[in-house]
A and B are shown apart, each in its own frame.
Chain A
Amino acid sequence: MGEFFSKLFSGTIPLEAYIVVSLIMFFSGIYGFLSRKSLLMILISIELILNSIDINFAVFNRYLYPGNMEGFFFALFTIAISACETAVAIAIVINIYRNLNNVEVDSMTELREPSANETEIKEVNE
């Protein structure tokens, strides 16, 4: 720990500091994905996850394997892929907004496992 802080204050940022930042981003992304109620917030959480991966790749490449560029390239491609994903996801979210006039997760209830009493009611009706 002492070494970590002495490095931190002497001007060179240690590898661990980056990893801590990227891990916080990653897990707050997962937390957001599981807890947010709006589709747009869920998308933003996913972006957090993908961005933390970019940091990971760039940092590993810069600090551990400076000889080749594999990590940087991977980070670039990940950015491109996440842009595609967001574009398609936004298009689908807009489609949902047209149907429901909101983008809340709670209002998307058409597809679900039929509960036991629901099936019974159906049978009685028929």
Chain B
Amino acid sequence: MNYSSFLQMQEELSLLVVIVILLIYDIFAGEKSLRFFQPVAIVLFSIHTILNCIPHHPFEIAGGMYHYVPMLTYVKTILNLGTLIIFLQSQHWLNGEESINRRGEFYFLTLSTLFGMYIMLSAGHFLLFIIGIETASIPMATLVAFNKYTHKSAEAGAKYILSSVFASGLSLFGISMIYGTTGTLYFDDLSGLLNGTPIELMAFVFFVVGLFFKISLVPFHLWTPDVYEGAPTNITSYLSVVSKGSAVFVLFTLFIKVFGNMIDQWQAILYGIIIISITLANLFAIRQQNMKRFLAFSSISQAGYLLLGVISGSATGMSSLVYYLLVYMFSNLAIFGVVSVIEDRTGKINIRDYNALYSTNPKLSMVMALALFSLAGIPPFAGFFSKFFIFSAAFQKGFYILVLIALINTIVSLYYYLLVVRAMFFNTNDHPVESIKSDVSLKISLIICTVAILLIGGFSVVYQQIALLGFGI
């Protein structure tokens, strides 16, 4: 067998190199040189990000088990950027007393989940797909339970792993039925063989439950607020951006490539799921007191908006989805950056604690307000353009009522995002959060996010570049 074809998987290989170098460094370096562990990790990972951001020619290896298309480079770069920003934001938390001895683990575990997502994105066979999705979700459970001295974290970890294993069990059952009816598991072969017979439809429903669980859409969302609240805040942001984004993209590729013949059935399923995810999550978000629970429900409704790109099933849908992912990542990470720094320094997490934040921390509250406006989709910011593109993609395919419902929900979401803004700027508070001096890495990450939110919308180059590849799956 010729192993040299594996050298073509350059993204996976370079990520593996980063993981191995960090592992060796963490195990064998002395106490003194370990002080540079975090800067080294960030520099290595940035090098990896930069090296892999240029798309190259599509190819297949292992008989189509692994396949690469240029669009994947963009998605992987978005995931890399998100991870990099989270690394920058978690510096202070990792240097804390409780987690300083385990900071190495944080990096390997995060990068292993990222590796799993790479595999999942590039898979051309259900076996590789399942291995990827599990490689992404098993280390994720350990990350959720990372603060091992707090009970909340362990409880969240248990809830995450039990429900994620249950969901992947259902998913595997669906795959076994697909294998039973078609006799193959290669995506390329399956697309012609699946016709939407009743047993295949059942298999399909079982299978997508596992993915819907990862994206946390409404009937399968019950784990989300609990896990988001219990996990360390930086892990929460990783869950809500990177893990969710990769799963949505994979959902799109699978629906087009494997279940292309069943387009009427899956559009009907998505239609209902989008409406209830957006509406229910918005209504629940209004009554939340805890900032992390609030953001959990906000991310559920954002996932509903992401699916608007999937339901169109067109090239425009694909490029607007990737663009939405990019903008959603920057906006959400800016908010989580502020929330994590406030929780890390003062331990305050309720929305009520954010009252009069502007009087003590004007810069942080400005960043947060910008990001909230972008999430809500107010015009000059990037969030408006991403919502516009994704709505027009669904509109083109004739989902008029669905887009109308989504638009009405945008107004509801504007209400609860503005609740936080009002708390920060207009409410009074006897004991506001004291003035926080943020560290350099956090500043850098927040500046990157703010600049991206302000500029991505204005520069059409970004969207054009993504749209150029169009249907690259």
Contacts and interface: CB of A to CB of B under 8 A. Distances in A.
Nearest to A29: B169
A65 B226 CA distance: 44
Contacts of B34: none
Nearest to B133: A81
A92 B158 contact: yes
Contact of A111 (B156, B161, B173, B180): B156
B158 A108 contact: yes
A100 B151 contact: yes
Interface in B87-137: 126-127, 130-131, 134
A8 interface: no
B180 to A, nearest CB: 4
Given A53-B172, A88-B138, A111-B230, A99 B127 contact: no
B155 A111 contact: yes
Interface string A85-126: 100110111011001100000001011111000010010000
Contacts of B175: 74
B226 A112 contact: yes
Given A77-B130, A92-B145, A113-B225, A85 B156 contact: no
Interface string B147-179: 010011011111101100110011011011101
Contacts of A108: 155, 158-159
Contacts of A57: 176, 179
A71 B178 CA distance: 11
B289 interface: yes
A99 B150 CA distance: 8
Given A49-B169, A77-B130, A95 B176 contact: no
B23 interface: no
A89 B225 contact: no
B141 interface: yes
Contacts of B16: none
B158 A119 contact: no
A111 B127 CA distance: 35
B58 interface: no
B132 to A, nearest CB: 11
Chain B CB within 10 A, most for which of A46, A50, A92: A92
Given A88-B161, A113-B225, A46 B169 contact: yes
A48 to B, nearest CB: 9
Contacts of B302: none
Contacts of B173: 26, 49, 52-53, 56
Contact of A53 (B134, B169, B183): B169
Nearest to A100: B151
B217 to A, nearest CB: 18
Dominant secondary structure of chain A at its interface with chain B? helix
B158 A39 contact: yes
Nearest to A112: B226
A56 B174 CA distance: 11
Contacts of B293: 113
B141 A92 contact: yes
Contacts of B161: 85, 88-89, 92
Contact of A110 (B127, B152, B185): B152
Nearest to B230: A111
B165 A46 contact: yes
Given A81-B134, A92-B145, A33 B166 contact: yes
B392 interface: no
B382 to A, nearest CB: 32
A93 B155 contact: no
Nearest to A74: B127
Interface in A50-77: 50, 52-53, 56-57, 60-61, 64-65, 70-71, 73-74, 77
Contacts of B151: 96, 99-100, 110
B169 A110 contact: no
A73 B125 CA distance: 12
Nearest to A109: B155
A17 interface: no
B11 interface: no
Contacts of B158: 39, 89, 92-93, 96, 108
B332 to A, nearest CB: 21
The 3 A-B residue pairs whose C-beta atoms are closest, nearest first, are A56-B176, A49-B169, A111-B226
Interface of A: 26, 29, 33, 39, 42-43, 46, 49-50, 52-53, 56-57, 60-61, 64-65, 70-71, 73-74, 77-78, 81-82, 84-85, 88-89, 91-93, 95-96, 99-100, 108, 110-114, 119, 122
20 contacts: A33-B166, A53-B176, A56-B180, A57-B179, A60-B176, A60-B179, A70-B127, A70-B184, A74-B176, A85-B134, A92-B141, A92-B161, A96-B154, A99-B151, A108-B159, A110-B152, A111-B155, A111-B226, A113-B225, A114-B290
